[in-house]
Structure 1
Amino acid sequence: MLNWNNLDTLASYQELEKAERINLAEVMSGENGAERVKTYSTPIVDGLTFNYAAKAVDDNVLAILDKLAKEAQLVEKYESLYNGAVINTGEKRLVLHQLTRGQLGGKVEADGVDKREFYVTQQKRIAEFANQVHAGEITNAAGEKFTTVVQIGIGGSDLGPRAMYLAMENWAKKNGAFKMEAKFISNVDPDDAAAVLNSIDVEHSLFVLVSKSGTTLETLTNESFVKDALAKAGLDASKHMIAVTSETSPLAKSDDYLAAFFMDDFIGGRYSSTSAVGGAVLSLAFGPEVFAQFLEGAAEVDRRATNKNLLENPEMLDALIGVYERNVLGYPATAVLPYSQALSRFPAHLQQMDMESNGKSVNRFGEPIDYVTGPLIFGEPGTNGQHSFYQLLHQGTDIVPLQFIGFKDSQIGTDVVIQGSTSQQKLCANVAAQIVAFACGKADDNRNKNFEGGRPSSIIIGEQLTPKTLGALLAHFENKVMFQGFAWNVNSFDQEGVQLGKVLAKRVLAHETDGALKVYSDLLNI
């Protein structure tokens, strides 16, 4: 039987609060540091490793975190989730994004439907459609191939798929898997849609409208913007658009679309990149085979996350070190720092995934909690970030834990030697230097040049960013967020915090305002 208890009621948490703190600068210096880097490491999948040597933990803290994992029944709760329990207590729903990439447990049924079969069927339908587009069997009115795919969606319908597309684009071009260029329209700001439409040939473009409910205001507004552009070009919008939606939405059986592919309420937007939401655009851009490799990497991590041995479960380990930093050490934020330009939008995706999931102040039962939960998440790719906000990270008054991501080889596979080293070597040299600089610091009599160190970080090290390692990377963070939500005893799978603003915006547009809302509306000439 599962016990859903608040973090601060657990005996292991009380023990964690009393655990002796380590001197990170000391343990990361000299031969001690060298040994830690070799030891404090665990594989995520083949070719991807989680190294936590520069985190402020030791064997004692790790042993207590293991106790916490067991007392909080983290793996058992994960097992309950993938076997079809109603884990989303706020909306009374199952949570099934892992099921889009593999069958971890027993058969999961909802509304009389085998959900794994449902997701596989949608993936097969998308694959067939994408192959027909690539083969020129589905064309524009002139019988010419589509060359561009444009995703219209917001939030999870944009951030994840966009980040995944950008992460795979160069790899696909290098490996002969690039089929169609992808663009994304998300912001209701008309400048967003106009900028995309001005950059493409609409006659040879296929548009993917993504809205689970079929009623998302921003998405439907942008759809109208696109349909207007198609009409002005003399094109039939229904021959240029497909929908990704639920089977019960008004978009599902509409003649306005070439085809409709389905999602359901059991997959939240921020967890939807491995569903039809990411599947349609990524399969069109790179081919179904590449999307299948992406799913394979995610599925492998999902399986590994079932391991009850904390040191062999990098997702749970990453999660609990984060809980220790947030709740015991009192650190307010986490910076995600990929040393890979391909992952330029990955931190933005993680902002939504983490902050929308665990930005909660009540537990799963709606009761206020007396401890902090999800951290602020931000980040930029290295080395750009080093010339931006690293000053605060190194010498600011707040300590911010860091999550680096780095790869030994670039995606392009070619490089040039400049001043005795390649560009990739220079990139990797920077991330190695930053880890040690943050941890160990540097003493200087000039206080302006003094670095105290003691600033913790971890790094995920990969051989190369491929579709499979990208899927693994995505699932690592999805499962990390899930385990943290379990530890904090919050519901990580609803997002009521985004609703109030939407409600008030509708009042403004209906001119049903008073007080400050009316004044702001008048100031903005609404």
Structure 2
Amino acid sequence: MSIKYENLDTLKAFKELRAVETSVDLKEELTRERILRYSAPAGGGLTYNYAAKAVNDEIVGILQKLSDEQQLVAKYKEVLNGEFINTGENRKVLHHLTRGQLGSDVTFEDKNLRDFYVEQQNRIREFSSKVHKGEIKGSTGKQLDTVVQIGIGGSDLGPRAMYLALENIYDVEMEGHFISNVDPDDANAVLGRLNFETTLFVLVSKSGTTQETLANRNFVLEKTRQAHIHGFNPSKHMVAVTSETSPLAGSDEYLDSFYMDDFIGGRYSSTSAVGGVVLSLAFGSEVFDQFLAGANDADRAALELDLRKNAALMDAMIGVYERNILGYGQTAVLPYSQALSRFPAHLQQMDMESNGKSVNRRGEPLNYQTGPVIFGEPGTNGQHSFYQLLHQGTDIVPLQFIGFKDSQIPFDLDYEGSTSQQKLKANLVAQIVAFAKGKEDKNSNKNFAGQRPSSLIYGLQLTARSLGALLAHFENKVLFQGFVWNVNSFDQEGVQLGKVLAKQVLAGGDAMDEALKAFSDLLEI
């Protein structure tokens, strides 16, 4: 099959989609039959339900045509088969390889790269086991019981979100902390709680030159020096996660080094050594293996051509319909699980850094909208925060709910005839229906127009396997949408400009323009 990369507005199916005159009245059409029928398997025991989305069989049928015309699954297979998909940096995109082979549908031939990831996973498994058994101790002979990840962006957001999602349901082998912001208050707040003799630091920088990360490394080293611990050797308390070509690789300043490569972007690196080291140390490699297995489940599910059987693809296509036909510019991610408190923040980076583009893969300006603004908080907290605007504001914001039948921790309390978990699920269900159906009232201040679309991803319980599937679902959704919009979802030039100017501010001299100098004076830099 010849793969073509075309702009969305040149496609026959998109023109057909724009011509659709039917609208979906969720007040009338959100029925039990529709709820049971409008679902797609997402892998890892998860199901994606889109009954409360403003689509019907006709629209879904055209979305299927659009997916086929834009060759989305074929392009997904090109990613899996090691093609140079990242056109901006002329790189492959290989984060899927970190979680296993995908069967006969994928013909990836470069076994060396898969072997490289397996080798790193085995090295991480062996290292974490030795730390847990006490075969690797701190420099003063004490058992290591705390792990601190030092990184920023994808080296922090994903691993931090995953750690918080798992710490309640699994035995914690090592307590985890994260330092990311170059703000000294961040590092000071974490370091003030640590016993350096029993702490292992994980320094994460693919390039080995990330300014904020190296600044925080030096901050940590200075703090350990000031502690004046007899016999303390900082090189025995820090490992590096980096590329094999970075200045950090194999350095005597680190206890060990674990590797990733340029084919895995930071925001897609949670299933690589970037997440693997800290999560394996925190919970054990068996838990991390389950996490990878769940991601692999979702990756397999994303190979399905039929939109109704492919949750990531359906989620992506409905998102395109909402963005480019209905004109909705934001999406709220609303997990009804406190364990997913930082998951929306991770999705902010993954989605907005990937598809926040205004030119296509050839560098040509686009005439249509691309990635939406992503935000979110866990329910029920969000209900007492920003749901007012979601229910009655002038903008319609599509919603993505996430929920689980069972809580992670078995203890619960029956209060006023129901448990806390039952109350949580009741609020989740009530919000979906309230957003869709609304409520008429003669008092306009109490009138709810409804017609606010939402989806629901749900499963039995948030475990390592379902978490891996949840992560991969959204990764694949973003990938599919990038292909629909014909953008390169795997570079991030917009991140670089501010870094360059920050260096000019710090360097001073003639390079600074008037605006930089003025702001620098305000902050006395």
Q: Does TM, normalized by the shorter one, top 0.5?
A: yes
Tell me what 1:284 maps to: 281
Matches within 5 A, 1:108-257: 108-109=109-110, 114-172=112-170, 177-233=171-227, 234=229, 235-257=232-254
Q: Distance in 1 between matches of 2:191 and 2:211?
A: 20
Query: Contact between 1:37 and 1:53, CA under 8 Å: does it hold in 2?
Result: yes
Tell me what 2:520 maps to: 521
Tell me what 2:14 maps to: 13
Matched, 1:438 2:439: no
Tell me what 1:40 maps to: 38
> Which string of whole-angstrom CA distances, capped at 9 and with x for unpartnered residues, describes residues 292-335 of structure 1?
00000000110110111111011000000000000000001000
Residue 239 of structure 1 and its aligned partner are, at CA, apart by: 0.7
Query: Contact between 1:305 and 1:314, CA under 8 Å: does it hold in 2?
Result: yes
> Which string of whole-angstrom CA distances, capped at 9 and with x for unpartnered residues, describes residues 435-490 of structure 1?
00000000001000000000000000110000000000000000000000000000
Q: Which runs of 5+ in 2 are unaligned?
A: none
1:13 counterpart letter in structure 2: F
Query: Contact between 1:24 and 1:456, CA under 8 Å: does it hold in 2?
Result: no
> Which string of whole-angstrom CA distances, capped at 9 and with x for unpartnered residues, describes residues 391-415 of structure 1?
0000000000000000000000221
Matches within 5 A, 1:200-349: 200-233=194-227, 234=229, 235-349=232-346
TM norm structure 2? 0.97
**What's the secondary structure of 2:476's corresponding residue?**
helix
**What's the secondary structure of 1:253's corresponding residue?**
coil
2:160 counterpart letter in structure 1: R
2:261 counterpart letter in structure 1: D
Residue 368 of structure 1 and its aligned partner are, at CA, apart by: 0.2
Tell me what 1:422 maps to: 419
Q: Distance in 2 between matches of 1:277 and 1:401?
A: 31
Q: Which runs of 5+ in 1 are unaligned?
A: none
Query: Contact between 2:44 and 2:465, CA under 8 Å: does it hold in 1?
Result: no
**What's the secondary structure of 2:458's corresponding residue?**
strand
Query: Contact between 2:204 and 2:241, CA under 8 Å: does it hold in 1?
Result: yes
Q: Distance in 1 between matches of 2:238 and 2:137?
A: 12
2:71 to 64, 70, 73: 73
Query: Contact between 1:24 and 1:455, CA under 8 Å: does it hold in 2?
Result: no
Tell me what 1:22 maps to: 23
2:454 counterpart letter in structure 1: S
Q: Distance in 2 between matches of 1:304 and 1:333?
A: 26
Q: Distance in 2 between matches of 1:186 and 1:15?
A: 47
- Select between 133-142 and 322-331 the one with higher mean Cα deviation: 133-142
> Which string of whole-angstrom CA distances, capped at 9 and with x for unpartnered residues, describes residues 191-233 of structure 1?
0000000112111100000000000000000000001111122
Q: Distance in 2 between matches of 1:388 and 1:423?
A: 20
Q: Distance in 2 between matches of 1:21 and 1:463?
A: 36
Q: Distance in 1 between matches of 2:89 and 2:48?
A: 34
**What's the secondary structure of 1:170's corresponding residue?**
coil
Residue 379 of structure 1 and its aligned partner are, at CA, apart by: 0.1
Query: Contact between 1:108 and 1:115, CA under 8 Å: does it hold in 2?
Result: no
1:314 counterpart letter in structure 2: A
Tell me what 1:376 maps to: 373
Q: Distance in 1 between matches of 2:44 and 2:135?
A: 38
Q: Distance in 1 between matches of 2:69 and 2:353?
A: 26
Residue 46 of structure 1 and its aligned partner are, at CA, apart by: 5.0
2:336 counterpart letter in structure 1: Y
Cα RMSD between the aligned structures? 0.9
Alpha-carbon spacing, 1:158–1:46, altered in 2? closer, same or farther (3 Å)? closer
**What's the secondary structure of 1:114's corresponding residue?**
helix
Tell me what 2:89 maps to: 91
**What's the secondary structure of 1:15's corresponding residue?**
helix
Residue 284 of structure 1 and its aligned partner are, at CA, apart by: 0.2
Identity %: 67
Q: Distance in 1 between matches of 2:279 and 2:246?
A: 23
